Chain A
Amino acid sequence: MKRLAVIASLVALLALPSLAMAKADLVIATDAPPKSMNPQAYSSDANYSYMSNFFDGLLQRKDGKLAPALATAWERIDALTWKFTLRKGVKFSNGNDFNAEDVKFTFERMKDPKYSRFLNFGNAIADIETPDAYTVIFKTVKPVPWFAETMHQNFIVDKESSLTRDDGDYNTHPIGTGAYIFDEWVKGSYVRMHANPNYWEGEPKYKTVEIRPIVEEATRFAALAGHQVDIVNGVPLTLADRIAKMPNVEMIQRPARRCIYLTVSNKPGTPFADKRVRQALAYAINEDEIIDKVMQGKATKASQIPDKATVGYNADIKRIEYNPEKAKQLLAEAGYADGFEITIAGPNDRYINDEKIAEAVAKYMAKIGLKVKLDVKPKSIFFDETAEFKHPFYLIGWFDGSYDFGRSAEKLLHTWDKEKGMGAYNGAVYSNPAIDDLIVKSSSIVDLAERDKALQNINAMVMEDVAWIPLHYQQDLYAVAKGKNIKFNPRPDRWIVVKEIQ
């Protein structure tokens, strides 16, 4: 027994010096863990956020605008053709050169369900040509006007090494061209990385960085209070006031892109088929009160689904303001003076205070004389149900990673069409042939200004027809440790791109 103790302490002594690993220059605590280190394995902002540090896309977003990254120039040649000119002299973190073959490989791999959660995007590409090592020409199956708009989230992998590595390795050890080079991922604990000295945009400021996912809100707050982390995202509303008062912390509030809204069916045979009913629902909701009471002031009123940064945002759209009298009158006109039964569905673990918002909406519906049922449940079940078109009226949130309302319209608004892959997210089953037609037409418009106009028109039409009742844009709350001179400007998409932190 004694001998064992001696051996154990010897081992401990030997091991200790090797642990003198310097604390990272910057420690970031986030509210979501990475799912995979394969950049095509998961299409969530949380995962993109991690990937954006190890990988580059052909393009990137700076202040929401498209900017060159691995491609220096891009153009839409015709409705189906996109051409990208690649940057020269870029290397992957394993030393391999970056060229057109890597781009081709990356996008072709997107069609493989074993590696990709971007099947839809991958399958939209018909053909990839590489006339020379630094030019890539994409042909799409049908017009994809937002093709370039998604290039900031399609991260390029190294062809040579990817072909030979086994899946486990490929999914846990990223090799990219990014500003940071991957060191270690201890699942559930941290992702550690160091600055890429040869990064094409110049070496980033922080040399060693640790991103620590801390899912539990109270623990994330404690880590901040205990000076263990420098930047925290997802500050919970309930703690916002207390954190704002902490002397060593600066809180940053930023309107997010995500719009929380109610989506309404217009299926014939239901009360919702009458536009006056849909209007009445919109008039019944006191959004100011929701923002004030439920969101504690930390939200921005919305008049439409896309946010200002999105192509297709229409500044002229006015919100249907709170007016319960008008709501009752419209219901009476539609022949529902005595109300009808209505179920409001929604998730209870997806958006900020989602269940409470749904409860508030239910109360407003009851106030105009409807018989309300509330049906909120975990997102894993709820989203399945919307995919099966189970709910004609539900609360949901949305923002388009492509910054293009055209794509949103195709997914959310177009009548469901299995063959064409349209309306896959139109869970409430809204259908308007005139709008369908305009959506399809808009996708072939090459000129950006013209396209913007067409999309704004669609946006105005759908708001006029009340397919959606927008509630508010969420606000993101961040906290940054004071006194370390960290200049952190949160992005509207919630990604934490470490090279941007000064």
Chain B
Amino acid sequence: MASYILRRVLQGLLVLMAVSFICFCLFRFTGDPVLMLAGKYATQEEREMVRHAYGLDQPTYVQYFKFIGGALHGDFGKSYVSQVDALDTILERFPATFELAMVAMSISFIVGVGLGIVVSIRPKGALAQVFMSGSLLGISMPTFLTGILLVMVCSVWLEILPAFGRGDTVQLGAWRTGLLTVDGWKHIILPALTLSSYQLAVMMRLTRAGMREVMGEEYIKTAWAKGLSPTKVILKHALRNVLIPVVTIAGLSFGELIAFSIVTETIFQWPGMGNLLLTSIFETDQPIIVTYIMLAACIILFINILVDLLYAVLNPKIRYS
């Protein structure tokens, strides 16, 4: 097990190196930050001065190794725009994104799996039909449309939930949370629903498919025959096996939710990392963009490893050696 983890971590490091190199090269060709850094009236001479001050006159590979060297010490450089440490800037936004992804994931997992079970028990029932067609809508509707519709209905027409922002927050050490205030919860509902709509539908369909398959298996029939209660059969015997693919998908998409909740964060002006990334792209703020991509890659790699390990816990038959 330990050697497996070690191998995965080493692989992860290689991937990170590749990611950093690719995005570093890419940014050489997208917009010259010097124009922005020197201000709009700067002369050629002043631009050169700035180029030198920021080390942008050095060859790409020198800049790259400098970046890697710094990154190993946790120094990803400073934002071109605000001159604040790039990693700090992003980490400051991390709690907002993490909480949003957590709530969205919880909604889609609990509701999705729940509905999936309900639908699989009476697949021909009217309720099941409604849920199934609803899930099609959830899968096919683009996030921005879901978000805007929710805003239209809940904020503009009904005026029951706020349309933007994070609401009141509480500082707990380094973590700024909105989950401890009523206002914070009010603000998180709409973006979390938006973010979860797709996942929820996927979870539900996955659970349903798995359940229907498992329910026909011999060991379930045995369980019924033994006279076990329906909850025990469904939740303990059937669901446990069904959950393996569901957890995998949930875990993988959690990483994606954190790294790419860009659209939802923009619609709801959620002060998270996705929002920051988009603004940084508009501003050609390369240090932030590169750091963000590195961080996103880290998160996704980490979660992938975690999911694999969770696999083993859920299904003792799987052994990594």
A→B interface (CB under 8 Å): 11-12, 15-16, 18-19, 21, 33, 35-36, 38, 41-43, 113-121, 123, 167-168, 171-172, 186-190, 212-216, 218-219, 222-223, 225-228, 349, 380-381, 383-384, 387, 411, 418-419, 421, 424-425
A261 to B38, CA, bound (A): 25
Name B1-48 residues within 8 Å CB distance of A: 30-32, 35-46
A142 to B155, CA, bound (A): 57
- Given A120-B41, A189-B271: A171 touches B83 (CB 8 Å cut-off): yes
In the complex the two chains form, is B170's CB within 8 Å of A222's CB? no
- Given A35-B283, A381-B31: A188 touches B89 (CB 8 Å cut-off): no
In the complex the two chains form, is B162's CB within 8 Å of A226's CB? yes
- Contact pick for B81, options A42, A123, A227, A383, CB 8 Å: A42
In the complex the two chains form, is A188's CB within 8 Å of B83's CB? no
Q: Taking the nearest CB of chain B, how far is it from the CB of A267, in angstroms?
A: 20
In the complex the two chains form, is A19's CB within 8 Å of B152's CB? no
Q: Taking the nearest CB of chain B, how far is it from the CB of A481, in angstroms?
A: 14
List 10 other contacts, CB 8 Å, given A41-B83, A113-B49: A167-B78, A167-B83, A186-B166, A214-B269, A223-B155, A225-B155, A227-B159, A384-B31, A411-B41, A425-B40
- Contact pick for A19, options B42, B181, B270, CB 8 Å: B181
Q: Chain B residues with Cβ under 8 A from A212's Cβ? A: 164-165, 269
Is B268's CB within 8 Å of the partner chain A?
yes
In the complex the two chains form, is A118's CB within 8 Å of B39's CB? yes
Q: Taking the nearest CB of chain B, how far is it from the CB of A171, in angstroms?
A: 5
Closest 3 CB pairs of A and B: A188-B271, A421-B43, A117-B39
- Contact pick for B43, options A116, A120, A228, CB 8 Å: A120
Q: Kindly name the residue among B54, B83, B172, B284 whose own CB sees the greatest number of chain A CB atoms within 10 A.
A: B83
- Contact pick for B38, options A117, A167, A425, CB 8 Å: A117
Q: Chain A residues with Cβ under 8 A from B166's Cβ? A: 186, 189
Instruction: Kindly specify which of B117-125, B195-203, B274-282 makes contact with the partner chain.
Output: B274-282
B→A interface (CB under 8 Å): 30-32, 35-46, 49-50, 53-54, 78, 81-85, 88-89, 92-93, 148, 151-152, 155-156, 159, 162-166, 168-170, 172, 180-183, 266-272, 275-276, 279, 282-284
Q: Chain B residues with Cβ under 8 A from A21's Cβ? A: 168
Name which residue of chain B comes closest to A47, CB basis.
Answer: B81
Q: Chain B residues with Cβ under 8 A from A123's Cβ? A: 46
Q: Taking the nearest CB of chain B, how far is it from the CB of A116, in angstroms?
A: 7
A21 to B37, CA, bound (A): 38
In the complex the two chains form, is A228's CB within 8 Å of B45's CB? no
The 13 listed contacts between A and B (C-beta, < 8 Å) are: A36-B81, A36-B82, A38-B83, A114-B83, A188-B275, A190-B165, A212-B164, A216-B269, A218-B267, A222-B164, A223-B155, A223-B163, A419-B45
A214 to B43, CA, bound (A): 34
Name which residue of chain B comes closest to A189, CB basis.
Answer: B271
In the complex the two chains form, is A219's CB within 8 Å of B267's CB? yes
Q: Taking the nearest CB of chain A, how far is it from the CB of B167, in angstroms?
A: 9
- Contact pick for A218, options B88, B148, B169, B284, CB 8 Å: B148
- Contact pick for B84, options A16, A18, A167, A424, CB 8 Å: A167
In the complex the two chains form, is A424's CB within 8 Å of B269's CB? no
- Contact pick for A188, options B54, B148, B272, CB 8 Å: B272
Q: Taking the nearest CB of chain A, how far is it from the CB of B174, in angstroms?
A: 15
Q: Taking the nearest CB of chain A, how far is it from the CB of B92, in angstroms?
A: 7
Q: Kindly name the residue among A42, A114, A187, A213 whose own CB sees the greatest number of chain B CB atoms within 10 A.
A: A187
- Given A15-B181, A219-B268: A424 touches B276 (CB 8 Å cut-off): no
Q: Chain B residues with Cβ under 8 A from A387's Cβ? A: 35
A119 to B182, CA, bound (A): 47
Q: Chain A residues with Cβ under 8 A from B272's Cβ? A: 188
A240 to B253, CA, bound (A): 39
Q: Chain B residues with Cβ under 8 A from A187's Cβ? A: 89, 92-93, 271, 276
Q: Taking the nearest CB of chain B, how far is it from the CB of A417, in angstroms?
A: 9
- Given A117-B39, A226-B163, A384-B35: A186 touches B271 (CB 8 Å cut-off): yes
In the complex the two chains form, is B53's CB within 8 Å of A222's CB? no
In the complex the two chains form, is B32's CB within 8 Å of A43's CB? no
Q: Kindly name the residue among B31, B36, B78, B164 whose own CB sees the greatest number of chain A CB atoms within 10 A.
A: B164
Q: Chain A residues with Cβ under 8 A from B32's Cβ? A: 384
A421 to B37, CA, bound (A): 17
A222 to B152, CA, bound (A): 7
Q: Chain B residues with Cβ under 8 A from A186's Cβ? A: 166, 169, 271
A123 to B83, CA, bound (A): 21
Q: Taking the nearest CB of chain A, how far is it from the CB of B27, in angstroms?
A: 12
Q: Kindly name the residue among B53, B84, B152, B159 whose own CB sees the greatest number of chain A CB atoms within 10 A.
A: B84
Q: Chain A residues with Cβ under 8 A from B266's Cβ? A: 215-216
Q: Taking the nearest CB of chain B, how far is it from the CB of A190, in angstroms?
A: 7
A214 to B165, CA, bound (A): 9
A118 to B130, CA, bound (A): 61
- Given A43-B39, A117-B38: A215 touches B82 (CB 8 Å cut-off): no
Q: Taking the nearest CB of chain A, how far is it from the CB of B149, in angstroms?
A: 11
In the complex the two chains form, is A116's CB within 8 Å of B85's CB? no
- Contact pick for A216, options B36, B46, B181, B267, CB 8 Å: B267
Q: Taking the nearest CB of chain B, how far is it from the CB of A216, in angstroms?
A: 5
Q: Taking the nearest CB of chain A, how far is it from the CB of B195, in angstroms?
A: 15
Q: Chain A residues with Cβ under 8 A from B53's Cβ? A: 113-114
- Contact pick for A116, options B39, B84, B89, CB 8 Å: B39
Q: Chain B residues with Cβ under 8 A from A35's Cβ? A: 81-82, 283
Q: Chain A residues with Cβ under 8 A from B46's Cβ? A: 113, 119-120, 123, 421
- Contact pick for A424, options B41, B155, B282, CB 8 Å: B41
Name which residue of chain B comes closest to A34, CB basis.
Answer: B82
- Contact pick for B279, options A15, A33, A119, CB 8 Å: A33
In the complex the two chains form, is A188's CB within 8 Å of B269's CB? yes
Name which residue of chain B comes closest to A387, CB basis.
Answer: B35
Q: Chain A residues with Cβ under 8 A from B152's Cβ? A: 222
In the complex the two chains form, is B92's CB within 8 Å of A219's CB? no
A223 to B271, CA, bound (A): 16
Q: Chain A residues with Cβ under 8 A from B38's Cβ? A: 113, 117, 119
Name which residue of chain A comes closest to B265, CB basis.
Answer: A188
Q: Taking the nearest CB of chain A, how far is it from the CB of B172, in angstroms?
A: 8
Q: Taking the nearest CB of chain B, how far is it from the CB of A187, in angstroms?
A: 6
